[in-house]
Amino acid sequence: MSKTPKTLTPKLVKKLWLAFILLVVMMGVSYIGTTNYFANKHNQETTQRLNADVANHVIAEKFQNASPFLEDGSVNKPLFGDLMHDMMAVNRGIEVYLLNDGGEILYSVVLDPNDKDATKSVSLAPIKSFIADKGEKFILGDDPRNPEEQKIFSAAPYSVDGRNGFVYIVLAGKKFQEVSSTLMGQYFAKLGLGAISLTTVFAALIGLLAIWFLTKNLRVITSTVRRFSEGDLTARIKNPESSDISIFANSFNEMADTITGNIDKMKSVDLLRRELIANVSHDLRTPLAILKGYIETLQMKRDTLSESEKQEYLQITHDNVDKLSKLINQLFEYSKLEAEQVTPVKEPFSITELSHDLIAKFKVLAEQKQIELHIDNPKENNMVFADVSLVERALQNLIENAIKYTEPKGKVTLSLHKKGKNVEINITDTGTGIPVNEQPFIFDRYKQVDESAKKQGSGLGLAIVKKIMELHDTTITVLSKPKEGSSFIFNLPVYQV
Ligand code: ADP
């Protein structure tokens, strides 16, 4: 049984899932933390505001009938014991301190007088600020029983028997703290347990859903990549722009296009190579067979053949050797051009002069065929910037073709005209012409319009011309009408001194 391949690794899904749960838990913890902080602050502020006047009441109620100090100047401890008793009956979280005007603690029921480490004074600044603001502001003061902590308090000044000081009441004393922390602990235990189990379940569910959504595009990409790797070269990611990871989707599509393009190119190169080998062997075989036949005849019938027959056979052999060597040269030239082994060596030269030379070279051949070969606009000297030997090769092939495909009494004209930054070179003949449907293919290798033309040429001439044009970053166009003639036109850049 074959397993259906997974589109995403379980590792990735697991990681995403864990990250999601971690995120939710972290958010939960920070939420509980901030809620706790603000709830606590709110609670403290409310308690302080509510009990702001407690210290004033203590002074007004208790110090009216009895002095906080005895006659010997010591603190009236029974009064304070009584006071604390009353207070704690109402609120067990309260702790009362009697301070002198320097903030020194004169007495408190909750402080052990024998404790040498106990705090002896409290800071007066928050107390004074509290009194000045009439208890309207949230202020924290020192806690004598817990020097590291700041507590909410109520305070009021007294002035009795020439002695000044403050009644300082810590509102959330030790008792309050104990009760509060136990309650808080229980509350958090309950909240924590509930919250953790709830968030885990929800995070797991939402996490899975979110991963499914987030990785939707990723799954599409993975399955497409897999299809491609399994040989489906048409596999592409649809609408890559709309993908969440469009760069990746686009890059994959481009990469796939390049790969298939290269494969196509390789296939066509391979096809061309096979075609070339087949054509070459065919082209070489025919003249070779003819050569072999005539040589054998000459050898065998040496004594019976007349002198003129011998001459004729030798001429045929000579022509075929010529043909063979020309074909081999062309093949060599073409394969070099195709393999991009030829780099044009561009230099300034006179295309007019080169044309004159070529016309002179083909004059005899043209005259033999009774063809009028001439150059148009012979006076204007046009300088171009190109590879002289490659341009000469191209022109030679074009003139050769023009003469080859033109009937006696026809005309072949080579014209040169400066057009802007280029010189236009035009080789026109009044020959057979090329059918319109064949025109796009005549520059392909071995393309010959008329099968009988095979006898006249190799079918490589125009392919070589096209390659030379490509090397000069230019193109060649053909204008032709059957039975009227053809024009081959190309441009070369003018050389400006
Ligand atoms: P070939 O060696 O057969 O001439 P080319 O590559 O030079 O090969 O030309 C390809 C084909 O294009 C020729 O076989 C011929 O059919 C056609 N052709 C080329 N030049 C001309 C021309 N001037 N007039 C008519 N046909 C032409």
Q: Given pLDDT bands bounded at 50, 70 and 90, which one contains residue 330?
A: confident
pLDDT of residue 1: 41
Q: Is the pLDDT of residue 368 over 80?
A: yes
- Which structure tokens are listed for 294? 């005539």
Closest CA to 397 of 333, 353, 471, 440: 333
Candidate from 215-219, 371-375, 380-384 with smallest mean pLDDT: 215-219
CB of 173 closer than 8 Å to CB of 145: yes
pLDDT of residue 2: 45
Distance from the alpha carbon of residue 144 to the mean position of ligand 1, in angstroms: 115
pLDDT of residue 451: 55
Closest CA to 358 of 347, 374, 371, 346: 374
pLDDT of residue 452: 52
pLDDT of residue 457: 61
393, 396, 429, 448: residue to mutate for ligand 1 pocket, most atoms within 8 A of CB: 448
Candidate from 80-84, 421-425, 430-434 with smallest mean pLDDT: 80-84
193: how many CB neighbours lie within 10 A of its CB?
A: 10
Q: Given pLDDT bands bounded at 50, 70 and 90, which one contains residue 6?
A: low
Instruction: Provide mean pLDDT across the span 169-198.
Output: 73
373, 442, 486: residue to mutate for ligand 1 pocket, most atoms within 8 A of CB: 442
Q: Is the pLDDT of residue 167 over 50?
A: yes
Residue of the nearest CA to atom 25 in ligand 1?
A: 433
Task: Find the radius of gyration of the CA atoms of the chain.
Answer: 55
Range from 65-74, 183-192, 243-252, 471-480 that averages highest in pLDDT: 471-480
Distance from the alpha carbon of residue 371 to the mean position of ligand 1, in angstroms: 17
Q: Please state, for a pLDDT cut of 90, what percent of the chain lies above it.
A: 38
Sheet holding 140-142, edge to edge: 105-107, 95-100, 163-170, 150-160, 140-142
pLDDT of residue 262: 93
Distance from the alpha carbon of residue 462 to the mean position of ligand 1, in angstroms: 7
Q: Chain-wide mean pLDDT for the chain?
A: 85
Q: Is the pLDDT of residue 259 over 90?
A: yes
Distance from the alpha carbon of residue 15 to the mean position of ligand 1, in angstroms: 69
- Which structure tokens are listed for 341? 């082994």
**Could you tell me which residues come within 8 angstroms of residue 35 by beta carbon, excluding any fewer than 6 positions away?**
none
Q: List ligand 1's pocket residues with C-beta within 6 A.
A: 397, 401-402, 405, 429, 431-434, 442, 447-450, 453, 457-463, 486
Rounded CA-CA distance 461/441 in Å is: 13
| Half-sphere exposure at residue 33, Cβ-oriented, CA atoms within 13 angstroms | 6
pLDDT of residue 60: 82
Total residue length of the chain:
497
pLDDT of residue 143: 86
Q: Looking at 269-371, which runs of residues are DSSP E strands?
A: 347-350
DSSP 111: S
Residue of the nearest CA to atom 21 in ligand 1?
A: 401
Q: Is the pLDDT of residue 183 over 80?
A: no
- Which structure tokens are listed for 47? 């308690």
Q: Is the pLDDT of residue 446 over 70?
A: no
